[in-house]
Amino acid sequence: MKIALVIENSQAAKSGIIHDALTAVAEPLGHEVHHYGMYTAEDGAQLTYVMNGLLAGILLNSGAADFVVTGCGTGMGSMLACNSMPGVFCGLVIDPTDAFLFSQINDGNCMSMPYAKGFGWAAELNLQDCYRKIFENEGGAGYPKERAEIMRTNRGILKDFKAAACHDMLTVLKNVDQDLLRSAIAGEKFAELFYANAQDAAISDYLRSL
């Protein structure tokens, strides 16, 4: 699995802590972690939580990533921005129980975490425990197990519902504020990571044209 990490500007100073916690869990499980920034609070390319959502939409709809890990001060803003995108199903994950239930019940493709609220002593351990509960088991197995089938049915209904309610990603990219879009893809390593992994030529071509 290709896991994309996206961090917005208010929490960029914690980028190293978050990245280290994610790779410590994901890489031994055989997953790749692609860090799309921010890397430090002083980065030239500044990401807001709104841009987090836009990047999540680009990465997941293009196939450049299979799962996006993001967040902001409370996790709420990034979650809302991500869920405004087609094909993105983002859960707010605060503790390992949230992570486990989101994985097993909702089987989403994006998680948003609070990196300021409640981020205190041993916060890196909570991050690792949350990532472990997301990535160590196959998603969508159901909890409790006897409700797995109805949960699978409801996920399909939600996917269809969102597809009916949203434009496709290429249309979103053409209609969104183009300066905002340029800023969202201006990260130091975006081009290096994205174009090598994206599987949707139309999305790649449009972003290259910018």
Per-residue pLDDT of the chain (210 residues; tens, 9 = 90+): 999 999 999 999 999 999 999 999 999 999 999 999 999 999 999 999 999 999 999 999 999 999 999 999 999 999 999 999 999 999 999 999 999 999 999 999 999 999 999 999 999 999 999 999 999 989 999 999 999 999 999 999 999 999 999 999 999 999 999 999 999 999 999 999 999 999 999 999 999 999
Total domains present in the chain: 1
| Distant-in-sequence, close-in-space partners of 164: CB < 8 Å, separation ≥ 6 | none
CA-CA distance, 40 to 15, in Å (whole number)? 7
Distances in Å between the Cα of 58 and the Cα atoms of 82, 130, 179 are: 10, 24, 15
Contact (Cβ atoms closer than 8 angstroms) between residue 122 and residue 107: no
Domain holding 126, by residue range, is 2-209
**CATH number of the domain within which 59 lies:** 3.40.1400.10
Q: Buried (b) or exposed (e) across 130-166, using 16+ Cβ within 10 A?
A: bbbbbbeeebeeeeeeeeeeebeeebeeeeeeeeeeb
